[in-house]
Amino acid sequence: MTNPEELKLLFTCSDIDAHVLKEILEDNHVAAMVINNMNSGLVAGFSGGLQGIESKVFVANKDIEKAKDILGEFKNSFSNENRD
């Protein structure tokens, strides 16, 4: 999943939520990648970045439909928590 043409943006959210979603996707055999500008800046050698920048979750084109189903369940889990 290193070729950018093979990747599809699934969701944009906080960095914490992005990593939770990535774990859920990978638990369901969907490879995922989280990209955010802060980490990109740190890797490039800059000493810091802006906190609160949203992260983007990417998956392979071939897995996008399965990933969307999992994303729907992920989003529903937040609305169910608010009802309790």
pLDDT digits (tens, 9 = 90+) for 38-79: 655 555 555 444 555 789 999 999 999 999 999 999 999 987
Q: Which of 20, 15, 30 is CA-nearest to residue 67?
A: 30
CATH H-level superfamily of 4-83: UreE, C-terminal domain (3.30.70.790)
- pLDDT at residue 5, as a whole number: 72
- Kindly list the distances between the CA atom of residue 12 and the CA atoms of 3, 24, 27, 34, 47, in Å, as whole numbers in the listed order: 20, 15, 20, 9, 24
Domain residue extents for the chain: 4-83
- pLDDT at residue 32, as a whole number: 97
